[in-house]
Amino acid sequence: MGQSYVEHYPTSLQYMSLGNGANYGANLWWSSYIGFNLRHEGTTWKTNGDGGSNGGSGVVGGINGSLLFVTVSGSTGGAAQTVQDADMLSRVRMQITYNGNVQIGTTLPTTHPDAKLSVDGKVVAKSVYVTSQSWADFVFAPTYKPMSLSALEAYLQRNKHLPAIPAASEVETKGYNVGEMDAKLLQSIEELTLHVIELNKQNQKLQARTAELEKALAKAGK
């Protein structure tokens, strides 16, 4: 079993830097921590090895009100490890900021710093619900007039993307809002549905007209 260490400085804060705080968008100086087979000595963090593994983890309290969750991976049969302060920055796996934002991973978002949850990596879920204040059913209102197909063709030739849908360059730099995008894509689908219905009506009229002409030609040929 590894050892646990708890250090606290109630009278005078003993500050320690985890590296360049600007990289995380937060002040990473700490005043206390709880370590699980992890302790701080001078300018290094150390773990013990028991012949089977040598990993460690800890929760670090930042003086800006944040909580940092750090881990030092173990290796089978490894001896005790020593990690420099500056190298611990890359071992922050998750942090809860002073305003309640949860940030998972080592790289924080730059375009949406106010996100309540940000994940630097893949997210796997069985189900995700997105609430939205607007949906696209207004397309089916009697007064709604979708863009004509000729106008849509001209728009696509000029902009290379659907109306109300951001360009690829914008998505690559800023990302997109899933709820808003779902509504916009639904609007495009519903507008296309209206065009298909209208084209079907025109096709039925043409078929009926063709049938009338065929009957007239047949009668004239007798």
Both structure tokens of 35: 């370590």
CA 95-101-104 angle, 5° bins: 40
Return the pLDDT at 202: 95
Return the pLDDT at 17: 36
Among candidates 47, 40, 36, 43, which has minimal Cα distance to 79? 47
Return the pLDDT at 39: 84
The SS3 assignment for 127 reads coil
Position 76 confidence tier, pLDDT thresholds 50, 70, 90: low
Mean pLDDT of 172-191: 91
* pLDDT greater at residue 132 or residue 91: 91
Among candidates 77, 59, 80, 65, which has minimal Cα distance to 3? 80
Mean pLDDT of 109-118: 81
Mean pLDDT of 62-88: 81
Q: Is the pLDDT of residue 207 over 90?
A: yes
E strands, 115-210, where?
A: 117-119
* pLDDT greater at residue 101 or residue 16: 101
Mean pLDDT estimate for the chain: 80
Percent of the chain whose pLDDT exceeds 70: 83
Q: Which residues neighbour 192 within 8 Å (Cβ) at sequence distance 6 or greater?
A: none
DSSP run (H or E) holding 40? strand 39-41
